Amino acid sequence: MLPCPNCQSTHTVKNGFTHHHKQNHRCRNCGKQFTQNPTNKIITQNTRTLIDRLLLEKIPLAGIARAAQVGETWLQAYANKKLESVPQKIQNTKKGFDSRVRRTLVIRWQ
């Protein structure tokens, strides 16, 4: 069976289908439900933690994407999700983030 993305246990069972008609799996070890997604590789918690730190530096998104080895599109979506309650959205420009957005990130994440 598909290994669990949460605990890597292979003790997983098929668990019906999601509303996107994808095969759903459930881990019998930790109880996590997940679907297989062959196009998007799983971004580990370690990578997300690294990205959270890199987002606070004056590095353009493209540079963070390269350093963390994630897709730029995914990274922009991830960064914007972090800022969901902030009216401003991160723009992926050559100048990097607006400094006001960065300050908001620092306040929110510390």
Note the residues at the interface with Zn ion (CB under 5 A): 4, 6-7, 9, 27, 29-30, 32
Shortest distance, position 18 Cβ to Zn ion, whole Å: 18
Whole-number Cα distances in Å, 106 to 45, 82, 88: 19, 11, 15
Q: Which is nearer to Zn ion, 2 or 56 (CB)?
A: 2
Reduced to 3 states (helix: H, G, I; strand: E, B; else coil), residue 23 is strand
Q: What is the closest distance, in whole angstroms, from the C-beta atom of residue 2 to Zn ion in the complex?
A: 11
Report the residue number, 33 or 80, with the smaller CB distance to Zn ion: 33
Q: Which two tokens stand for residue 12?
A: 């997983």
Query: 9 vs 15, which CB is nearer to Zn ion?
Result: 9
Residue 47 CB: number of other CB atoms within 10 A?
14
